[in-house]
Amino acid sequence: MKNIQMVDLRSQYEKIKTEINTGIQEVIDTTSFIKGKKVTDFQQALESYLNVKHVIPVGNGTDALQIALMALGLKPGDEVITPTFTFIATAEVVALLGLTPVVVDVDFDTFNISLESLRKAITPKTKAIVPVHLFGQNADMEGILALAKEHNLFVVEDACQSVGSVYTFSDGSQVQSGCMGDIGCTSFFPSKNLGCFGDGGAIFTNNDELAANMRAIANHGMVVRYYHDIVGINSRLDSIQAAVLEVKLKYLNNYISGRQTAATYYNTTFAGNEKIIIPAQSSNSTHVFHQYTLKLNDVNRADLIKFLTEKGIPAMIYYPVPLHLQKAYRDNRYKAGDFPIAEKLCDCVLSLPMHTELTEEQLKYITRNVLEFINN
Ligand SMILES: *Cc1c(COP(=O)(O)O)cnc(C)c1O
């Protein structure tokens, strides 16, 4: 059996090696490494995949979030709400821009922002909500958008883990992850569902004015060359990464079904075990399983991880500490116990290997060992 990895990029590459190598070679042959044709081609392909008006390729997912927030014209002290159970990037860019991060609790079943908690956190200073579609499943966007409309707030979706996930609104309309709010942000970090061979990211919007503004911000605040109208940054997707992404986008739907097949195997095998809570399937969103994350009930997690590691099975904790208890973000507004669901999740979650190349033999081996530990 092949070695088990959290993410097996090597095996995925082997299957599309010729196409990828050809794409990269084309960039080298033309030497248009920055803002080349590959970048525009990929941008257009992604716009049509997502059915969104504008895709703005940028340097990484964190830059995407930063540029999005810069484009909203917020002022120091304005409050931006984000879930406390997530990766640091959302709170980080809020803090870097001199805005005030306000964190809220999440829903135990879906790991996503809790609408109840969100509603209570809105104040007259609130200007934006940054929901994170964690682990590959969209947050309750219908509820979030309704709250945003009621309070006149911007919605910037963090779709770094959820590209390709589809949300169904109650009127039956279906929209791609990242294309429901004012702005959506994604990352092409190699292990993401649509990953390149280095750093990359993109911003999505249907709003022409925001798109123009964000394109300028990503390019030193420049519209006409060497005339700088606003303070910007430098954030670009390079042509070699775009060449890789252009190929991989064609396989994204296959990659998603590969992940879903692995998740179904896990779910079926673990179903009914009272010490394991399998990931909940939300009724209005597809799940693209960026991570396959269990909640353990009365299991010694550290010992389980040790046991699995000895068997050659990696397992990770995403995420061990909520934002409000991170050293850099501690302030007197928050203390331990304030967000009990997020804190509980940090203590009981465990992510198993999840990628597009998992074989049935590997899945059988992983689940057999998890159950052997848990049932003893
Ligand atoms: C990966 C990720 C980011 C950051 O993306 P980078 O490309 O690494 O900057 C932000 N938010 C979430 C939820 C992520 O998973």
Specify the ligand 1 atom closest to the Cα of 60.
7
Q: What SS3 state is found at 102?
A: strand
Global pTM value: 0.98
pLDDT tens per residue, range 215-224: 999 999 998 9
What is the Å distance from ligand 1's center to 1 Cα? Answer: 32
Task: Identify the residue whose C-alpha is closest to ligand 1 atom 6.
Answer: 61
Q: Work out the mean pLDDT of the chain and round it to a whole number.
A: 97
pLDDT tens per residue, range 345-354: 999 999 999 9
Q: Which domains are assigned to the chain?
A: 9-104+111-249 (3.40.640.10), 252-375 (3.90.1150.10)
What is the Å distance from ligand 1's center to 269 Cα? Answer: 30
Strands of 11-149 (E only): list them: 54-58, 79-83, 100-104, 126-129
The count of other CB atoms within 10 Å of the CB of residue 147 is: 18
User: Residue 135 has which token pair?
Assistant: 């682990």
The count of other CB atoms within 10 Å of the CB of residue 121 is: 18
Classify residue 18 as exposed, middle or buried by CB count within 10 Å of its CB (0-12, 13-18, 19+).
exposed
pLDDT tens per residue, range 130-151: 999 999 999 999 999 999 999 9
Task: Identify the residue whose C-alpha is closest to ligand 1 atom 12.
Answer: 160
The count of other CB atoms within 10 Å of the CB of residue 279 is: 23
What is the Å distance from ligand 1's center to 223 Cα? Answer: 27
Cβ of residue 58 lying under 6 Å from some atom of ligand 1: no
What is the Å distance from ligand 1's center to 89 Cα? Answer: 6
Residues 6+ apart with CB under 8 A from 169: 141, 142, 175, 284
Closest-CA residue to 275 (of 161, 204, 372, 163) = 372
Pocket test for ligand 1, best of 60, 86, 94, 189 (most atoms within 8 A of CB): 189
* 266 close to 289: Cβ distance less than 8 angstroms: no
pLDDT of residue 376: 86
What is the rounded distance in angstroms from the CA atom of residue 264 to the CA atom of residue 260?
Answer: 6
Cβ of residue 160 lying under 6 Å from some atom of ligand 1: yes
What is the Å distance from ligand 1's center to 320 Cα? Answer: 16
DSSP state string for 238-253:
BHHHHHHHHHHHHTHH
pLDDT tens per residue, range 84-114: 999 999 999 999 999 999 999 999 999 999 9
pLDDT tens per residue, range 30-79: 999 999 999 999 999 999 999 999 999 999 999 999 999 999 999 999 99
Q: Is the pLDDT of residue 356 over 90?
A: yes
Cβ of residue 60 lying under 6 Å from some atom of ligand 1: yes
What is the Å distance from ligand 1's center to 158 Cα? Answer: 8
pLDDT tens per residue, range 234-288: 999 999 999 999 999 999 999 999 999 999 999 999 999 999 999 999 999 999 9
3-state helix, strand, coil in the chain (%, to 5): 40, 15, 40
pLDDT tens per residue, range 317-349: 999 999 999 999 988 999 999 999 999 999 999
Amino acid at 48: S
Q: Which H or E element spans position 293?
A: strand 292-296
Closest-CA residue to 82 (of 64, 100, 58, 63) = 100
Q: Which H or E element spans position 156?
A: strand 154-158
Cβ of residue 204 lying under 6 Å from some atom of ligand 1: no
Cβ of residue 235 lying under 6 Å from some atom of ligand 1: no
Pocket test for ligand 1, best of 67, 94, 137, 161 (most atoms within 8 A of CB): 161
What is the rounded distance in angstroms from the CA atom of residue 119 to the CA atom of residue 148?
Answer: 10
Mean pLDDT (whole number) for 180-199: 98
Cβ of residue 319 lying under 6 Å from some atom of ligand 1: no
Specify the ligand 1 atom closest to the Cα of 64.
9
* 313 close to 369: Cβ distance less than 8 angstroms: yes
